[in-house]
Structure 1
Amino acid sequence: MTRAPNPDRRRDASRKATLAAALELCVERGYAAVTVDAIATRAGVSKATIYRWWPAKSAIVLEAVDEAAPIPETFPDTGDLASDLHAWLSGILGVFHDPRLGPAFTGVLAESQLDANLAHQLRERLINHRVAQLDERMTKARKNSELAPDADLEVALDILHSPIYRRQVLHYPLPDDAYLTRLIALVMRAIGPTRAD
């Protein structure tokens, strides 16, 4: 007796093919030149299927990046805050440096500057829960006296992330490990337990 095809498995295969196609095309053509038509053709699915699942190209690419991004879902906690921050920021840089993910993430980031809804989706899907993990780790560090009791965590978070995104947006070379070490040391001097008042 022939077993009927599993429609859920077929849908999942089509979804994975679509996400893979979006990333491949971003590498080959650049994000701006990728179209839903091209993604559908590469994935072997219909445009109607794609539009049932995603409202636009940007949503496909955002989901693809989110699923493939190497940034850990939980913030590292080795007991050494500086080391944990270095690992975290290295994970963000890993997305930009990844030849498969970098063009896609950069494209979504650029488009989000002109599309408030996409910016909201970017924050909701990729950014907010990860920043919450960082904030939780920093709050714990403050409670454990790794940081000053009045350390301004909101400003510290902005300082830690800003150089990466500023350099990416303005096409400067991205920070290397030595730069990250200097950046983290600067922040730790500013908000660490022995900082100068």
Structure 2
Amino acid sequence: MGALVERDLLGEDDVAALAGLAARVRGLAGAALLTGVGAGEAAAVAREVEALTARLAARRRTAPPFAASGGIDTAAGERRMDRQVGNPVTGPLNPVAPPVDLEVTSDGIVRGEFTLGPVYEGPPSYAHGGVSAMVLDQVLGMAAAATGTPGMTANLELRYRRPTPLGVPLLVEAKASRVEGRKVYAAGTIAAPDGRVTVEATAMFVMPQRFVVSKY
């Protein structure tokens, strides 16, 4: 395992500004995929994007930042991170993320509605199976963390029941089924707007012996 890197903690204003930037880059990716402009215009835009990339790269962090929560971990007396804003599934600062907006209910169910666009296409008009796996891994991990025993994915098994459509609201849900020491078992699904399940998943997560973690 690589060495831990010190992370910058962002305030609300910085998170909002960078989330806005990520949203525009997300839109740019979709436009680049679907554009019908000619070669000359595409080359001109590429030069502009290159210049903008250089502006952003002029000052770089060593690792994706965290957003600081306002709460205090009273057991340790230290401030804890509220979320990983660079997460590739839920992170509002990550242009690769859809992103998926998730909530954890009082009974430990993790649930969210999200829509996947053309950049996530696998079979024509349907989501790539790896994208479904990524989303379910995240949601199952959050369900495991909701038990108070957060961990890393040790096993992830998926059953693709039918194609997952693009461009429509999808529902993802997961819940932990049992905890055995440092192991947590969870199950979850992705469902289409008609309620039919497109992907089912089960997973086992293991909390490492020495685990320093932010909340999902």
Give the TM bin, normalised by the shorter chain. 0.3 to 0.5
TM-score by length of 2: 0.32
Structure whose residues are more often strand by fraction: 2
Structure with larger RCO (C-alpha < 8 A, sep 6+): 1
Larger Cα-atom Rg = 1
When you count helix as a share of all residues, which structure comes out higher? 1
> Normalising by the residue count of structure 1, what TM-score does the alignment of the two structures yield?
0.34
